[in-house]
Amino acid sequence: MTTNNTSAKTKAAEALSATTQEAIQGAIANGVKAAQTSGAEAAKAATKIVNLVAQNTSKANSTMVESFDGMSSFMRENLNAISKSSADLIAGCENILKQCFNFAQNQLESSLSAQKDLVNCKNLRDVFETQAEFARNSYEQSVSEMTKISESLIKITNQSAEPIQARINVSIEKAFKSAA
């Protein structure tokens, strides 16, 4: 019986070994088949990824070019506004300098006229009256001229600030649009 028992055990072991080998071979075949299928699917997925990257890169490049063109145009308009503002400011300052020069020239002429009048005075009372009239006229002309110059300065300031203010408004609008 020991022989039969050993032989039955051997047959059972052989059957188990054959079944195990079949299972292992089936698992290997299934694994190879799955790997081949996964490799093909992975290749398809990789192709899709490459195509998406190419599309997104193309979109990003055109968006970047559009952004650069927009930024370039925006900066050019800003520089034009600064240039216009500077030209207005320079022209205004030139006008104010002309006003100041004319005022100084008029004051000099008034002073020379007053000196002639002082030389022609016959008494001390005439001297005081001539001097007082000169001082009053000089003061009134100075106040009048300073008012004109102040008004010119305000006008020049507003005029030269307009182009820059317009560009600031455009910048604020763009910021709100991009934030929204």
What are the structural domain ranges in the chain?
2-179
Query: Does pLDDT of 17 surpass 80?
Result: no
Q: What percent of the chain has pLDDT over 70?
A: 63
Distances (CA, A) of 36 to 17, 23, 31, 141: 28, 20, 8, 102
Structural tokens at position 96: 């104010």
Task: Give pTM, 2 decimals.
Answer: 0.56
d(CA 169, CA 176) in angstroms, rounded, equals 11
**For the chain, how big is the Rg over CA atoms in Å?**
49
Longest dimension (CA), the chain: 171
Give every CB contact of residue 111 below 8 A, 6+ residues apart in sequence: 134, 138
Residues 135, 139, 140: CA angle, nearest 5 degrees: 120
Least confident range from 37-41, 74-78, 117-121, 162-166: namely: 37-41
Q: Which of 65-69, 109-113, 131-135, 159-163 has the lowest mean pLDDT?
A: 65-69
Within the chain, strands assigned E span none
137 in helix, strand or coil?
helix
